[in-house]
Amino acid sequence: KNKSEKLIFEIANEPVSPMTKAQNDEMHQKAIKVIRKTNPTRLIIFQGIDWGGSDALINAAIPNDPYIIGSFHSYDPYLFGLEGKGTWGTASDISALRAKFQKVKDWSDKNNIPVFLGEFGSLKKCDYNSRMKHYKTYMELSETFGFAPAAWDDGGDFRIMNRSAKTWDDDIKDIIAHSSLLSPKMP
């Protein structure tokens, strides 16, 4: 309770079956009650079931609490982002991702709940140009829709930074660093 307000709690990361939606909703509400005994205004992140996808967030029971942040994870489309198949970046691809973000934004506005895109990315084995466009589009849509984004770096297949060498692994660092409206712009 004596930590900076910059510390944010997340009750569960990517809750998944055998936990049910009802159990996930109940767990969040119970955990928030416990947290509020010592942290009455600390921000708390909640997610829906099934790996924390956007539809699960939209369908989750909203905890009765004014200091919450809704979170979702996205590697869409699955075959590209999580299996590394094909290419990505057509107008149709971008439109489908924009539609997903719009649904979450509509939910956010309706419920007055901020959104954290807690994980996004695509495998290193994906087509290079498609992968760069994938990260750039996620960053741009996050900015457009007002979501706080976090690119997933697992130190392996989604590596962005080589932790042991303390060096950036590839160009994704530049995409992330230069995609905000507040970022310095390069010629």
Annotated active-site residue in 10, 26, 119, 140:
119
Q: Which helix (H) or strand (E) segment is 149 a member of?
A: strand 148-151
First to last CA, the chain: 46
Pinpoint the alpha helices (H) of 71-181: 78-81, 91-111, 128-145, 172-177
Dihedral through CA 160, CA 164, CA 167, CA 168, nearest 10? 0
Q: Which helix (H) or strand (E) segment is 7 a member of?
A: none
14 is catalytic: yes
Annotated active-site residue in 5, 10, 14, 140:
14
- Positions marked catalytic: 14, 119
